Amino acid sequence: MVKLAGLSLNEQEFLTDSLKQGIRSDGRSLDQFRDVEITLGDQPGYVDVRLGKTRVAVRVSGSITKPYEDRPFEGIFTISTEIGPIAGAFFENGRPSDEEVLVSRLIEKAIKRSGALDVEGLCIVAGDKCWNIRADIHFMDFDGGFIDASCIGVITALQHFSRPEVTVSGEQVVVYSTDEREPVKLSILHVPICVTFALFNPKEKEENIKGGADGNEEAGEFAIVDATMKEEGLSNGTLTITMNKNKEICQISKSGGLPAEGLMVMDCANKAYGIVEKLTDQIKEVLKQ
Amino acid sequence: MSNKELYSPEGLRLDGRRWNELKSFTCKVNTHQTSSDGSSYVQQGNTKVMCKVNGPLEPKSKANSNNNNASITVNLNIASFSPVERRKRPKSDRRIKEMMTILEKTFSETVITKLYPRTQIIVDCYVLSQDGGILSAVANSVTLALIDAGIAMYDFVSSINVGLYNNSIPILDLNHLEEGDMSFLTLGIVGKSEKLAMMLLEEKIPFDKLETLLGIGISGAQRIKDLMDEELRKHGKLLISTAAS
């Protein structure tokens, strides 16, 4: 994903060799997700997620605007991502790079397109007033797994956030301050969680593509869960699977990279489900407090 | 449009196809002899895509120069008259940028880039008409144009999409009405293998249906590969016969 940030040839070889033997530099097994630390802020809608050294801050806010003309009965939900040099020296300020576009599109697809937030519930007066819920993702530190961390962040922040109560009488819309009336939670329809796999091919490219033909050749390629920055830089491509606890796949994205066997994708999806179950429970636990 | 008409109880779709039938697929290669090194035209139903390949050439900017591999740049132009309702899309549209990046990454892996160090391969795609499956049609046309340009590749990349109707019936090669109404999976397969070079799913499907969709998609993509191969061989024979006479 990111260019190899100052990784020497020796280190590259060492990391790939040990991965081939199933050993990771941080002592995890190949299909183990890093421990996730979710901290809720004082205000509703602020969440800080740490995934190893990766740190993402998500802030959800709401305001009242006019709905889109083609969708008069729906509120507006936007997700904005900002990757600046604060996350790492290799991220540049200004124009988003291709990678960044992919990351932000992926998060958008995982949460917005999958209908995690019930936008119809955000409508106040059809065609005139609706809530505009905005999730700002700030990447504070980077050590791989941006997508996974920000997805956890956004979905937790959405559940943590509550908007002021609004009543409509005739033409008049009254917004009550949080002291006057209990604020309302957003309605979240399901909890999508992203799991990213980094794909590795220890052999030559040619063997990967042609090797399967004779049948006796064992497929050498393998996938590891939740790669760190170094592992991500070394990998030959990534595969992101988004699922929820109801065993629905919300999104799959494998944009190029190492050609992978269909069976391997199925295997990854199975592993992803285990992780999704665990993380959903963890989010629930955090929100209970 | 009500959901029910998309797939009739008799097993027919809006355009009269069965669930596992492809849109009519035609392709041509070497359509733009003077303006490019390789070119192609792909028509899948009413989706029409044109593709031109220039290169390997000297990189226009240093940023595109890599000492070990060729760098592939894909430009995607979606004509404003191509959808059913005329709509202008800025080139900076994130969806278009996403597709461009996906194509670049996919083909960087299938073209033998190490044979062309310090060069750039520029791919220009033009979508002339949209009727579903733009990304797959573009990927198919890029494969053909790259082959026409004589650029060394490990194998074909053939692409197709598969939808899931009513969360139960898989449907191959969707048109734009079907695409708007069901979740679908876009696949890119390498050659005759069952290896996925690219894979995209944007909306929800139940987990246990994934395997079925993959299986149907892979066989559909292989059929597309055969059709492209046939056309390329025909074109090759034509070239030889004109050269001989």
Statement: residue A93 has pLDDT above 80? no
CATH of domain A9-31+193-288: 3.30.230.70
The confidence band for A1, taking pLDDT boundaries of 50, 70 and 90, is very low
Q: Which residues of A166-200 are buried (b: 16+ CB within 10 A; e: fewer)?
A: beeeeeeeeeeeeeeeebeebeeebbbbbbbbbbb
Distance CA A168, CA A229 (A): 50
Taking the CB of residue B24, how many other CB atoms lie within 10 A of it?
11
Question: Are residues B203 and A237, on separate chains, in Cβ contact within 8 Å?
Answer: no
Burial environment of residue A70 by CB neighbours within 10 A (0 to 12, 13 to 18, 19 or more): exposed
Q: Which CATH class is domain A36-185?
A: alpha beta
Per-state percent for chain A, helix, strand, coil, to nearest 5: 30, 30, 40
Question: Are residues A250 and B204, on separate chains, in Cβ contact within 8 Å?
Answer: yes
Asked whether this chain's domains A9-31+193-288 and A36-185 adopt the same fold, the reply is yes
Question: Are residues A254 and B215, on separate chains, in Cβ contact within 8 Å?
Answer: no
The confidence band for A154, taking pLDDT boundaries of 50, 70 and 90, is very high
Distance from CA of B245 to the nearest CA of A (A): 37
User: Do strands A46-51 and A123-125 pair parallel, antiparallel, or not at all (unpaired)?
Assistant: unpaired
Statement: residue A230 has pLDDT above 90? no
Q: Which residues of A touch B154 (CB under 8 A)?
A: 205-206, 209-210
Statement: residue A218 has pLDDT above 60? no
Residue B187 · residue B201 · CB < 8 Å: no
pLDDT 10s digits, B36-87: 999 999 999 999 999 999 989 998 888 778 888 899 999 999 999 998 888 8
Of B97, B208, B214, the CB nearest to A98: B97
The confidence band for A215, taking pLDDT boundaries of 50, 70 and 90, is very low
Q: Where are the alpha helices (DSSP H) in chain A?
A: 9-20, 98-108, 146-160, 205-210, 229-234, 262-288
**Residues sharing a CB contact under 8 Å with residue B74, sequence separation 6 or more, in sequence order:** B100, B103, B104, B107, B123, B125, B142
Question: Are residues B203 and A114, on separate chains, in Cβ contact within 8 Å?
Answer: yes
Statement: residue A6 has pLDDT above 80? no
Which amino acid type is present at position A67? P
Mean pLDDT, chain A, rounded, equals 85
Of B97, B202, B214, the CB nearest to A101: B97
Statement: residue A2 has pLDDT above 50? no
Residue B109 · residue B159 · CB < 8 Å: no
Angle between helices B134-148 and B94-110 in degrees, nearest 10:
40
> HSE on the CB side for A58, CA within 13 Å?
31
Distance CA A283, CA A212 (A): 41
Distance CA B187, CA B216 (A): 10
Question: Are residues B195 and A114, on separate chains, in Cβ contact within 8 Å?
Answer: no
Distance from CA of B12 to the nearest CA of A (A): 27
Of A109, A257, A262, the CB nearest to B214: A262
Statement: residue A216 has pLDDT above 50? no
Residue A262 · residue B194 · CB < 8 Å: yes
Statement: residue A217 has pLDDT above 60? no
Predicted local confidence at residue B119, as pLDDT: 93
Distance CA A89, CA A258 (A): 27
Record the tokens describing residue A170, joined without a space: 């005739």
Q: Nearest CA to A39 among A181, A157, A123? A: A157
Q: Name the closest residue on chain B to residue A272, using Cα atoms.
A: B207
Q: What are phi and psi of A4, to 5 degrees?
A: -55, 110
Question: Are residues A256 and B154, on separate chains, in Cβ contact within 8 Å?
Answer: no
Q: Nearest CA to A198 among A170, A163, A161, A240? A: A240
Distance CA A229, CA A282 (A): 24
Distance CA B36, CA B54 (A): 5
Q: What are phi and psi of B143, to 5 degrees?
A: -55, -50
Q: Nearest CA to A144 among A202, A194, A108, A201? A: A194
Taking the CB of residue A63, how many other CB atoms lie within 10 A of it?
10
Predicted local confidence at residue A3, as pLDDT: 55
pLDDT 10s digits, A182-210: 888 899 999 999 999 998 887 766 666 66
CA B28 from centre of chain: 14
Statement: residue A253 has pLDDT above 60? yes
Q: Where are the domains of chain A?
A: 9-31+193-288, 36-185
Distance from CA of A161 to the nearest CA of B (A): 25
Residue in the block written with tokens 């033009």: B126
Q: What are phi and psi of B110, to 5 degrees?
A: -100, -30
Predicted local confidence at residue B87, as pLDDT: 81
Could you list the beta-strand ranges (E) of chain B: 25-29, 38-44, 47-57, 71-78, 120-129, 157-165, 169-172, 183-190, 195-201, 205-206
Q: Which residues of A touch B187 (CB under 8 A)?
A: none
Question: Are residues A247 and B95, on separate chains, in Cβ contact within 8 Å?
Answer: no
Residue A144 · residue A228 · CB < 8 Å: yes
The CATH homologous superfamily to which domain B3-244 belongs is GHMP Kinase, N-terminal domain (3.30.230.70)
Distance from CA of A115 to the nearest CA of B (A): 9
User: Do strands A76-82 and A129-141 pair parallel, antiparallel, or not at all (unpaired)?
Assistant: parallel
Answer with the residue of higher pLDDT: B1 or A87: A87
Q: How confident is the prediction along chain B (245 residues), in pLDDT tens digits per residue?
A: 455 578 888 888 888 899 889 999 999 999 998 999 999 999 999 999 999 999 899 988 887 788 888 999 999 999 999 988 888 877 678 889 889 999 999 999 899 988 999 999 999 999 999 998 999 999 999 999 999 999 999 899 999 999 998 888 899 999 988 888 888 999 999 988 888 899 999 888 999 889 999 999 999 999 999 999 999 999 999 999 998 87
Q: What are phi and psi of A124, to 5 degrees?
A: -105, -60
**Residues sharing a CB contact under 8 Å with residue A159, sequence separation 6 or more, in sequence order:** A185, A186, A188, A191, A283, A287
pLDDT 10s digits, A113-124: 888 899 888 989
Prediction pTM value: 0.90
Distance CA A105, CA A79 (A): 9
